[in-house]
Structure formats: C-alpha cells, structure tokens
Amino acid sequence: MEKIFGRSKGLTDVPFSFCPGCTHGIIMRLIAEVLEELDIIEDTIGVSPVGCAGFSQDFFSCDFVGAAHGRAQAVGTGIKRSLPDKIVFTYQGDGDIAAIGTQHAIHTAARGEKITSIMVNNAIFGMTGGQMAPTTLEGMKTSTSPYGRNIGTNGYPIDLPKLVANLEGAVYVASVSVDSPKNINQAKKAIKKAFQVQQAGLGFAFVSVLSTCPTNWGLTPSDSMKWLRENMMPVYELGELKVAEEVKSL
C-alpha cells in the first residue's frame, strides 16, 4: 500500500510527551515540515528554552542547544555569529521570551539578528503548573492570579509580536494560530517565510503562534480551542504584522 502520510524527517522518533490537546506537537510538526521542505535539517541548529517548549530538543532531528530560561535568543545570536552560514532558530514559550527573556526579545530584533524565533503563546506558564504569564489575559484565572488577572495590580498582557514589529531590524513578524486546519495552513506559511527570510539573510524573523494549555486552563482539548478563539484571538491580532519591503519579493 502506498504511504501517503508519515512523520516528517525533521522530527526524531521520540514520541511527543505533551498533555492531551496541547498544540506544541502541531507547531513542532509544522516547523519540522518546513525544515524538510527547505532541505535545511542538516544545516539547522535549534535552541530550546526552559519550560514545556524545552522538550523540543528531543523531538527535532537537527542539532540542538538547551538555553537557560529566557536566554535562547542570546544563545542563538552566539551560534549564528559563530556560524553565519547555518540556520538558527529558537523555539520558546511566551513565559520564556516575553518575561524573563524580554531584553533579548527586544535587542535580538533591534540588531536584526539573522535568526528565526518562534513563540508559542498559551497565555500561561505551563511547565511550572499554570502561573500568570506576561500574556495572561485580563480576568484570566491562574495559580498566581486566582481571582483573575487584575489590571490594576498585574498590569496588561504584552502583545510581543506587535512590540517587535516596531523594531527596524525585525523584517518579518507574523501572528498565527493552530486552532483550525485553515489557520494551521496559515501558520505553516508564516513559519516557512520566517526561515526563508533567514536563508536570504534579510534580518530577524518572528512568528507568534497562539496555542492552548488544556491542563492548566482546566478545559477539555476541544473547549480549549473554543476558548482560544473566543478569548485570545480578539486580543492577539492574527496576520502578517510586518513584511518589510525586501521580504515581499521572497
């Protein structure tokens, strides 16, 4: 029988260890497919963060470096500056890149560092058990905002892709979601472009992917998707937020 679907070569045979309904698996698969389609698996070095996204180092079939919490983009910068001909990407959660690693998120973009960063935004700290993240929505209950995120005391959620899009060195910034087949296709297109931008050496490319955390949200996988659509999408605008002139011709 003809095999028409299988594991991407960009992934190892290590089974995903994520909770049921978690979208990390979908997002990693999309990246793996992009690495395979662009034929860059052997030229790519990934950087994993701390948190659930950190398991990426086991699942991708390319070389990987594990960074300290928040530092993936600084580590990626060091790798890229040392090996400018290689492809470097970071795979980070929202807690990692938009809180403890914010300074690197801003300056990696400002320098126009020729790497690709993927942020997986589920509006919560997953690995540590569901604490408030910089992306947690107003009123959203977490273990450190048990009465709901109070803007008066906790401030506002950060829309990192919008922030990064303001910086000259960021030439491609997209905000996508993986809640539906249509959006998954859009997400893959954006991820692919973010790697092509790097291949062409045009500057920093950033893709934010809206994601779920059924375990810490306390919802079923299908309710989580619904919650993402109804609550996160109105706050975190989807689409290509920035496509610099030089990227348009790719």
Partner 1 sequence: MEKVLMKGNEIIGEAAIRSGCKLFFGYPITPSTEVIEYLSAQFPKVGGTVVQAEDEIGAINMCYGAACTGNRVMTASSSPGVSLKQEGLSYSAAVGLPMVVVNVNRCGPGLGGLGPAQSDYFQSTKGGGHGDYRLIVLAPSKAQELYDYTMEAFDLADKYRNPVLILSDGFLGQTMEPVVLKERPEAPAFDRSWVVDGAKGREKRVLASYSLTNEIGEANNLKWEAKYKHIQEQEQRWEEFHTEDAEYLLVSYGTTGRICKSTVLNARAKGIKLGLIRPITLWPYPEKAFIPYKEKVKGIVTVELNTGQMIEDVKLAVECKVPVHLYRRQGGMLPTEDEILDFVENKFNLSAVEEV
Amino acid identity of residue 26, one-letter, is: I
41 binds partner 1 (CB under 8 A): yes
Q: How many CA atoms lie within 13 A of 38 on its CB side?
A: 24
191 binds partner 1 (CB under 8 A): no
Cα separation values, 95 from 53, 66, 131, 243, Å: 10, 16, 9, 25
> Which one, 12 or 196, has the nearer CB to partner 1?
12
| Least distance CB 72 / partner 1 (angstroms) | 9
> Which one, 45 or 176, has the nearer CB to partner 1?
45
14 binds partner 1 (CB under 8 A): no
Cα separation values, 156 from 60, 140, 209, 230, Å: 34, 12, 19, 18
Q: What is the rounded distance in angstroms from the CA atom of residue 57 to the CA atom of residue 61?
A: 8
Q: Which residue has the tokens 């109070």?
A: 150
31 binds partner 1 (CB under 8 A): no
193 binds partner 1 (CB under 8 A): no
Number of residues binding to partner 1, judged by CB under 8 A: 37
Q: What is the rounded distance in angstroms from the CA atom of residue 72 to the CA atom of residue 64?
A: 11
Tokens representing 149?
A: 């995120």
Query: Which of 36, 43, 138, 223 touches partner 1 (CB under 8 A)?
Result: 43
| Least distance CB 201 / partner 1 (angstroms) | 15
Cα separation values, 240 from 64, 79, 174, 189, Å: 28, 27, 4, 10
Q: What is the rounded distance in angstroms from the CA atom of residue 45 to the CA atom of residue 123?
A: 27
| Least distance CB 108 / partner 1 (angstroms) | 8
Binding-residue pattern over the window 44 to 83 for partner 1, x denoting contact by CB under 8 A:
xx-xx-----x--xx-xxxxxxxxx--x--xxxxxxxxxx
8 binds partner 1 (CB under 8 A): no
| Least distance CB 80 / partner 1 (angstroms) | 8
| Least distance CB 178 / partner 1 (angstroms) | 25
Comparing C-alpha atoms, which of 19, 53, 13 is closest to residue 209? Answer: 53
Q: What is the rounded distance in angstroms from the CA atom of residue 64 to the CA atom of residue 80?
A: 13
Query: Which of 111, 141, 189, 229 touches partner 1 (CB under 8 A)?
Result: 111
166 binds partner 1 (CB under 8 A): no
Binding site for partner 1 (CB under 8 A): 12, 41-45, 47-48, 54, 57-58, 60-68, 71, 74-83, 86, 103-104, 106-107, 111
